[in-house]
Amino acid sequence: MTNKEIVSEFIDKVFNAWDLTECDRFMREDYIQHSPEVKNGRDGFKEFAEHFFAMKPHMHVFKMAEDGDMVFVFFKCTFGGQENAAKVCDIYRLENGKLAEHWDVLQPIDPADPGASGNGHF
């Protein structure tokens, strides 16, 4: 399985199915986190995700790219089926087939506002 396929399956099984029982399969125990609101380690991710999943998020992936041990995911995250959303780029570093490190960039978006260019957010 490629790193990109591992991250894709992680998104489907954990984030979009809200299933934290799958974390052990996908994440290293010493997972390094660069999101300021999330603690380090697999347990830190689980603690964050318990609260995050209460908002019923869904990741709509637009682009995913792999470069060696790094995977870049560009997606729209909606909550509870509502139009409120965020534009996100997650970056994962994998080690021996498991997520080892994570960075992200987030931007809240208003789906009614296409932006100054008129091209939309995606």
pLDDT tens, residue by residue, 52-92: 999 999 999 999 999 999 999 999 999 887 777 889 999 99
Within 13 Å, how many C-alpha atoms sit on residue 56's CB side? Answer: 6
3-109 has which fold?
Answer: Nuclear Transport Factor 2; Chain: A, (3.10.450)
pLDDT value of position 89: 97
pLDDT value of position 112: 76
Q: Write down the pTM of the prediction.
A: 0.91
pLDDT value of position 39: 96
* Residue ranges covered by each domain of the chain: 3-109
pLDDT value of position 118: 76
In the chain, % helix, strand, coil (3-state, to 5) comes to: 25, 40, 30
Instruction: Provide the pLDDT confidence category of residue 22 given band limits of 50, 70 and 90.
Output: very high
Q: Is the confidence at residue 116, as pLDDT, over 90?
A: no
Please state the rounded mean pLDDT for residues 17-38.
96
CB 64 within 8 A of CB 8: yes
Nearest residue to 57 via CA among 9, 18, 27: 18
Please state the rounded mean pLDDT for residues 31-50.
96
